[in-house]
Amino acid sequence: MQPLPWPAEDMSGRLLAWYGRNGRDLPWRRTRDPYRIWLSEIMLQQTGVTAVIPYYERFLAAFPSIAALAAASLDQVFELWAGLGYYRRARFLHEAACRVMSEHQGRFPDQLDVIMALPGIGRSTAGAIVSIAFDRKGPILDGNVRRVLCRLLAVSGAPRSREVEKRLWQLAEMLTPENRAHDYAQAIMDLGATVCTPRRPDCAACPLSALCQAFWQGLQEQLPQRGVRKSVPLVRQVALLMHHHGRYLVRKRPLAGMLGGLWEFPATTVPEDGEPAAAARALLIEEGLSCTLEPVGTVRHAYSHFRVELFLFACQGTAAGRVAEEERRWLSLPELAEWPLHGSHKKALALTLRQG
């Protein structure tokens, strides 16, 4: 491990002094409750602060404690999460709350390895909880911190490659102080979010510019190096907008797998060389339903690992076939507006509402 080019205390001292003057006032910073800090960290994964705040406040109003969250149904959790995306986070949050109640007597653990054993909590999130809630050294490496460290020490290479990842964790460990870990964790995240931004970093306002190797080498715009962007596959699907007396048929996805536990209109994938209308007719038979299909439009949506082109077919059916099963419901349009549908099917609902 290469030594730092300056004392770690110099870096943390400058950063903490800056944070004392410039730290953001956020709802989860007004508490040391590990439940609330954990919730904020999970919500902030893949989602910006401005979008998270109203969800955070509504979620806590409904589930003010770990016990309340564990006692809720997964559908209730999804309903409060609807719109934040990446619903796997909500499922793991609920599962972890149940584990805290059953395995830790309702008290959120304070040890890094024990926290990491809970569903949906990785090394960086666990470090943030340990630092912010318990004020103990817990190195973090979220996207903002990763960018700050890559520039501060002029670390080249793809930031998420195994070799660079290892180097960044070593740096995070060396730079995180034993004292004031609570403030340091929030300070370095704030620096990345507000000053050391992905594009056009504000080096003139940065408290670490005198130490920053990328700044002195003129590399702040080139670091971190961008990895090769993977192509995102396009999946063609059909969905049935089956309605009966003002209600629409929806079904719940299996808990295991992509978008587990969320709801959707009956849907299936169109074969590679197939036609959407033929796939819709086959799905109708599979669902044990019979009616005339009418194409009503197409919606497109991007998930984290693929894109969907969803062909919509309306039809008027009855409550026959498999509809009586527990994981299928007939719901009105107002009910569907509050129901935890996943992304492309929310757009399908919006199109249905527009068309009257």
Token pair for residue 215?
Answer: 């700044």
Token pair for residue 339?
Answer: 């129901």
Active-site pick, 41, 287, 309, 338: 41
Point out which residues pair with 297 in neighbouring strands: 312
Taking the C-alpha atoms of residue 152 and residue 238, their distance in angstroms, rounded to an integer, is 49
Q: Are 106 and 67 in contact (CB under 8 A)?
A: yes
Residue 356, judged by CB atoms within 10 A of its CB (0-12, 13-18, 19+), counts as: exposed
Phi-psi region for residue 110, left (φ > 0), alpha (ψ -120 to 50) or beta?
alpha
What sign has the CA pseudo-torsion 61, 119, 344, 257?
negative
Taking the C-alpha atoms of residue 347 and residue 353, their distance in angstroms, rounded to an integer, is 10
318: number of Cβ within 10 Å = 13
Q: Is 41 a catalytic residue?
A: yes
Active site residues: 41
